[in-house]
Amino acid sequence: MATTHAEHHDHHDHHEMSFWEKYIFPLDHKVIGMQYLFTGILMGVLGAFFSYVFRMQNAFPGIEVPLFGLVTSAQYNSLITNHGTIMIFWFAMPILVAAFGNYLIPLMIGADDMVFPKINRLSYQIFLLSVVVLIGSFFVHNGGFGGAWTAYPPLSAKAEYNLTPWGSILWLVAVVLEFVAFLLGGINFITTLMNSRAKGMKMMDIPIVCWMIVLASILFMASAGPLIAGAAMLLFDQTIGTGFFDPARGGDPILWQHLFWFFGHPEVYVVFLPAMGIVAEVITTFSRKKLFAYKVVLFTTFATGILSFFVWAHHQFIAGIDPRLANIFTVTTLLISIPIAEMLFVYIATLWGGSIELTSAMLFALGFLATFLVGGVTGIFLGASGADIYFHDTYFVLAHFHYTFVPIAVIAVFAGLYYWFPKMFGRFMDETLGKIHFWGTMVGFNGIFMPLFFTGAAGDHRRIFDFSNFPELAVSSLQHLRMVATISVIITILFQFVFFWNFIYSMFRGRKCTENNPWKANTLEWVAACPPPHGNFLVMPEVYRGPYEYSVPGRELDYWPQNEKV
Amino acid sequence: MGTTTPIATTRSVTGMPTGRLAVWWVIGSEIVIFGGLLMCYLMLRLKFPHWALNSSHTNTFAGGVNTFVLLTSSLSIVLAHYYAERKEELKAFGLIWATIFGGLCFLVIKGIEWTTEIQNGFTITSSLFWSFYYTAAGLHALHVIAGMCLMGWISIDVLQKKNMHRVELIGIYWHFVDLVWIFLFPLLYIAK
């Protein structure tokens, strides 16, 4: 700790950095965060475009889709597969974990950078390579992989089944590269939070969002390993003809499902926790209230993290697993809804009696709580093995997890972007456009997935190219619901242009942020300038209290920054 | 380029140096990778007793020699750390290269062993046991090679008395690679 006494930045020794040093090969955590953010947003646009194309085919079979053309069944499979893969691995994770983690953790714990800036840069470069490999896989012979984002063998293992001999290999390589990038990034996040907190910041003084991103990194690290091993096995099955997942040769295709979902279910919480953290920061600031039960949030997060490793087989209830095992996994799955529900209650209790200010960021944060609730409640249907036998692989499942993932990866991300935009770019986003964007997104999003609960309950299976081939599903009542969903997709996408306009315009022309702390928030990132310079703080801050001391009785101001001595 | 070490790197709230803390987390992530692979192997092995017919062909003697070589190389990296802490860079440098030599011996023996197996017709596609045999040992060998490269890189710094603490970090990693082999040896060789 001897070094902390001499922690003053001498900014004169930084020579002027060239464009390449600053933006292409940066070491600054903020610039690396931005690289992740913009790459993630671009991938999100690609994933959204894919969803538009296959929804058009779904609602209007055989239509010449504007901006794409006629969709073949092979293209349809590839589009849905890569939509899922992109949205989880190249959109949700890079933005929620990597972009916000890189940008926020050093700022919020009062450090000048990550502990390993070069590893941080390497992490992004590997991530970018994975993007290149994935996009490359769309253009090889027979196109991109079409065996669903879960890549179950034998479909994923044998080219004679999936018909994409190169696409499936490149898809797998891209996923593994992406994992390596996030392992490197995760080690950086965890070590930084453990070792580099400002003087005086105790464990219980860490802002919830930092806790959440780091716990998500630990969850990712603990769950991804077996799938990396599984990916090596699958790669050998694809390329040199081993039989790890081939029952004819003594292997077991269910083994892949275990490895995949042992990773895949904790992965839900890997993206969920950072979203929950972002929302915690936003609702405390804009309700001027202390977070109700900080420790409860933290301990329920630990409980969620531990339980998340014991629920994976609820994805496999009809895969031929032992029914006695299904009983156990039903119980654990229903159990995990308790800590999640507790977190939602704690957040609602935080709002109670606060002076709520409905900024765009706050609207999105509240929208997250409302819509995620629907996703959580419908999960109970699927966690119960009896009901799941009927619902399995229907649009009900699809609607359920989009009601969890869209609030997480889209709505909470918007809350975070509107909230930290002044810090990131030194200017405000337009509030009126923000509110138009909010309502358009909320109405559009519910319009997409609410009807799909009904089509799913009526028997619509997922991953069907053309429902007109199924007479009992090709009825007009169901087809109308599919059309409602597709039109809602278009409406939702159109409203995102409001966001993009607002984002890009505000970045250069928005109202200037003249103070360091425009929202009157407590956490340390608001001590730094808007936007913070290289090195973040002129004088390294020290911490005297927790992050949520709002409306403290007897104090004149309704906020109390962590770094203020009195 | 602004390559000055950030203040963040020099802090140590937990009391553990940042580099050592990070290496433990790296090892944590490696444990689950090897753990997942070995768990798959173990469950299938217990399910199929006839895999013993395959494993009876593995060369326990070569595996045993390799265990000895790898354990000895762990001793030399410990001694390298001992001298690195005493700033005796020449002795540390020599012992690091002794460890690299140990890794090389391990790979040579492994190479001879694998060549013999392949000549006898036991390739990675022969049966599931052999698939696991080559995959697990191959993944381990990649870690040995990575460790050797890192040690070569660190040894250059050590000669200039720079970053001496990295000898300890690579030592922790090398012990982990050792430990993985301690699991692989009985599972793939001894269990007949």
Residue burial A439-457, b: 16+ Cβ < 10 Å; e: rest: ebbbebbbbbbbbbbbbbe
**Closest residue by Cα to residue A406 from A375, A366, A360:** A375
Cβ <8 Å between B135 and A233:
yes
Rg of chain A (C-alpha set): 24
Cβ separation B6–A190 shorter than 8 A: no
User: Is residue B7 in some structural domain?
Assistant: no
Domain boundaries, chain A: 28-526
pLDDT, tens only, B88-144? 999 999 999 999 999 999 999 999 999 999 999 999 999 999 999 999 999 999 999
Measured between CA atoms, how close is A196 to chain B, in angstroms? 5
| B32/A240 CB distance under 8 A | no
pLDDT tens-digit profile of B1-50? 345 789 999 999 999 999 999 999 999 999 999 999 999 999 999 999 99
Among the partner-chain residues B6, B33, B128, the one whose CB lies closest to the CB of A251 is B128
* Whether the Cβ atoms of residue A126 and residue A174 lie closer than 8 Å to each other: no
**Nearest Cα residue in chain B from A8:** B7
pLDDT tens digit string along A68-100? Answer: 999 999 999 999 999 999 999 999 999 999 999
Let me know if residue B10 belongs to a domain. no
Q: Are A271 and A96 in contact (CB under 8 A)?
A: yes
Q: Smallest Cα–Cα separation from A265: which of A206, A300, A211, A309?
A: A309
The CA-atom distances, in angstroms, between A537 and each of A112, A116, B81 are 7, 18, 37
Flag whether B45 is in a domain.
yes
φ/ψ of residue A427, rounded to 5 = -140, 160
Identity of the residue in A188, A226, A240 whose CB atom sits nearest the CB atom of B124: A240
Q: How long is chain A?
A: 566
Nearest CA in chain A to B47: A250
At residue A323, the pLDDT reads: 87
Residues in chain B within 8 Å Cβ distance of A251: 128
Q: What is the pLDDT of residues A236-295, one digit of tens each?
A: 999 999 999 999 988 999 999 999 999 999 999 999 999 999 999 999 999 999 999 999
Q: With pLDDT > 90 as the criterion, what percentage of chain A qualifies?
A: 93
pLDDT tens track for A173-192: 999 999 999 999 999 999 99
Nearest to A229 among B6, B10, B33 (CB): B33
CA closest to A244 among chain B residues: B128
Q: How far apart are CA B169 and CA B153, in angstroms?
A: 13
B28 contact residues in A (CB cutoff 8 A)? 221-222
- Containing structural domain, residue B134: 18-49+60-190
Angle at B133 between CA B129 and CA B139, to 5 degrees: 140
> What is the per-residue pLDDT across A497-532, written as a single tens digit (0 to 9) for each?
999 999 999 999 999 999 999 999 999 999 999 999
For residue A1, list chain B residues with Cβ-Cβ distance below 8 A. Answer: 11-12
Distance CA A472, CA A554 (A): 68
Does residue B2 sit within a domain?
no
Could you tell me which residues are beta bridge partners of residue A64?
A70
- pTM exceeds cut of 0.90: yes
Structure tokens at A80: 């849905």
Q: Name, in order, each residue with C-beta under 8 angstroms of A43's C-beta and a sequence gap of 6 or more.
A: A86, A90, A91, A94, A131
**Closest in B8, B14, B37 to A229, CB measured:** B37
d(CA A407, CA A401): 10
What tokens does A538 get? Answer: 């002129």
Give contacts of A104 with chain B, Cβ < 8 Å: none
Cβ contact B10–A3 (<8 Å): yes
Residues of chain B contacting A255 with CB distance shorter than 8 Å: 40, 44
Q: Which residues of B33-56 are buried (b: 16+ CB within 10 A; e: fewer)?
A: bbbbbbbbbeebbeeeeebeebbe
Q: Give the pLDDT confidence score for residue A22 in this predicted structure.
A: 81
Rounded Cα distance, B28 and A455, in Å: 44
Looking at the 3D structure of chain B, how many domains does it have? 1
In this prediction, what percent of chain A has a pLDDT beyond 70? 97
CB B22 within 8 A of CB A116: yes
Taking an 8 Å cut-off on Cβ atoms, the answer to whether B7 and A111 are in contact is yes
Residues of A in contact with B3 (CB under 8 A): 27
Contacts of A116 in chain B (CB under 8 A): 9, 18, 22
pLDDT of residue A19: 82
Q: What is the pLDDT of residue A1?
A: 35
* Angstrom distance (rounded) from CA A109 to CA A290: 19
Cβ distance A116 to B22 less than 8 Å, yes or no, reads: yes
Chain B residues with CB-CB distance to A7 below 8 A = 7
Query: Is it true that the peptide bond before B186 is cis, omega within 30 degrees of 0?
Result: no
Residue B74: exposure state from Cβ atoms within 10 A (0-12, 13-18, ≥19): middle
SS3 for A335-395, per residue? HHHHHHHHHHHHHHHHHCCCCCCCCHHHHHHHHHHHHHHHHHHHHHHHHCHHHHHHHCCEH
Which residues of A fall within a CB distance of 8 Å from B40?
A: 226, 229-230, 233, 244, 255, 259
ipTM, 2 dp: 0.94
- Per the CB < 8 Å rule, is A196 touching B9? yes
Residues on B contacting A at a C-beta cutoff of 8 Å: 1-4, 6-14, 16, 18, 21-22, 25-26, 28-37, 39-40, 44, 48, 124-125, 127-128, 131, 135, 139
B41 neighbourhood in chain A, CB within 8 Å: none
Among the CATH numbers 1.10.150.20, 1.20.120.80, 1.20.210.10, 1.10.357.10, which is that of A28-526?
1.20.210.10
Cβ contact A112–B40 (<8 Å): no
pLDDT at residue number A566: 81
CATH number of the domain at B29, please.
1.20.120.80
Residue A530 burial (10 A CB sphere; 0-12, 13-18, 19+): buried
- Look up residue A536 and give its two tokens: 């973040």
- A8: which strand partners? A539
Q: What residues form DSSP beta bridges with A461?
A: A394
**DSSP 8-state code for residue B191:** -
Which DSSP symbol is given to A86? I
pLDDT at A122: 96
The Cα–Cα gap between A436 and B134 comes to 58
Rounded-to-integer distance, Cα A334 and Cα A345, Å: 17
Residues of chain A with pLDDT under 70: 1-16
Cβ contact A405:A420 at 8 Å: no
- Shortest Cα distance, chain A CAs vs residue B117, angstroms: 17
Contact A232 B139 (CB under 8 A): yes
Place of tokens 């959440």: A212
- Pick the residue from chain A with its C-alpha nearest to B131: A242
pLDDT at A12: 42
